[in-house]
Amino acid sequence: MAATFSCSIGGSTIALTKRGPEASLRRRGIVAGYGTKLYTGSNCMHVKISSGRNAHFTRSLASSDNILGKSLTFRFSYQQRIVRTGACRCATYEDIEDAKQSVEGDAKKRMEKTLETLKSNFNAVRTGRASSALLDRIEVEYYGSPVNLKNLAQVSVPDGSSLLVQPYDKSSLKSIEKAIAKSNLGLTPSNDGNVIRLSIPQLTTERRKELLKVVGKLTEESRVAIRNIRRDAIKSYEKLEKEKKLSKDNVRDLSADMQKLTDEFIKKADSLYKEKEKDLMTV
């Protein structure tokens, strides 16, 4: 089990294990003009906090001391005069992992949802082949409220070049026809009084290029959404730092992990774009 010291006068971090102070010690950089130096011996560890001049505080910890979850008080003095007091809090490794699982776990779920939305939006961009997913984003005015088409009708694919829309309530037929005609799919609905038939025309090269721009815009929107999720996660970490639950070094490390997750999901979005591009430009 590891532990982390967060100094209230700086963001320096000291990590150690139950095996003793000689194991798993690490030095962090100077924060706000203060630094932390570690000195280890056979029976104790000395923690020296210094301003870079003669002012310092040294505390010795025996290897048998139970310090997990404890606070260590200190006095920061210069030429026998006390100029600052504070405390070093020892947070367990589990505390840090709990924070990571909570914040990063929530961010990952939101990023996954962003990719699902991107896939759904891509499905609504037609490629010259019939697919019921083309109508996924169609909203129909039904009794004064917008309702998704899939909740009002069954959409089937009788062949590779046409769609068949059969409403559950025939009174909604004209509203469905109007919604499809007003969409940017470029489809002309044929209403026979019972069902609506849609013929999927082949796309021209110019139209394919126009749709590719739409796909690119949707992809960029997903990238922005993913980066915004990362920003929210880092703000959550910074809030925990202000509450003295994480050190500045903890936030830096966790933020680096968050950046890796962000890069991973942006690559997935780019991969979806390339797949859609290939599908769209294949005649």
Q: Concatenated DSSP letters for 188-250?
A: -EEE-SS-EEEE-PPPPHHHHHHHHHHHHHHHHHHHHHHHHHHHHHHHHHHHHHHTTSS-HHH
pLDDT of 176 reads 94
Which of 212, 198, 127, 210 minimizes the C-alpha distance to 163?
A: 198
Query: Where in the chain are the domains?
Result: 2-94, 96-123+204-281, 132-199
How high is the pLDDT of residue 146? 93
Give the per-residue pLDDT at 128.
67
Contact 212, 281 (CB under 8 A): yes
* 5-35 pLDDT per residue, tens: 333 333 333 333 333 333 333 333 222 223 3
Q: How far apart are CA 118 and CA 130, in angstroms?
A: 20
Please state the pTM of the whole predicted model.
0.59
What is the pLDDT at residue 79?
42
Query: What token pair was written down for 248?
Result: 């500045």
Region label for 213, one of left (φ > 0), alpha (ψ between -120 and 50) or beta (otherwise): alpha
| CA dist., res. 274 & res. 205, Å (int) | 18
pLDDT digits (tens, 9 = 90+) for 97-118: 888 899 999 999 999 999 999 9
47: enclosing H helix or E strand? strand 44-50
Report pLDDT for 97: 84
- Structure tokens that stand for 71 in this block: 């606070």
Architecture of domain 96-123+204-281: Orthogonal Bundle (1.10)
Q: Provide the 8-state DSSP code for 34.
A: B
**What is the CATH number that goes with domain 132-199?**
3.30.1360.40
The pLDDT value recorded for residue 241 is: 86
For the chain, residues with pLDDT lower than 50 are 1-90
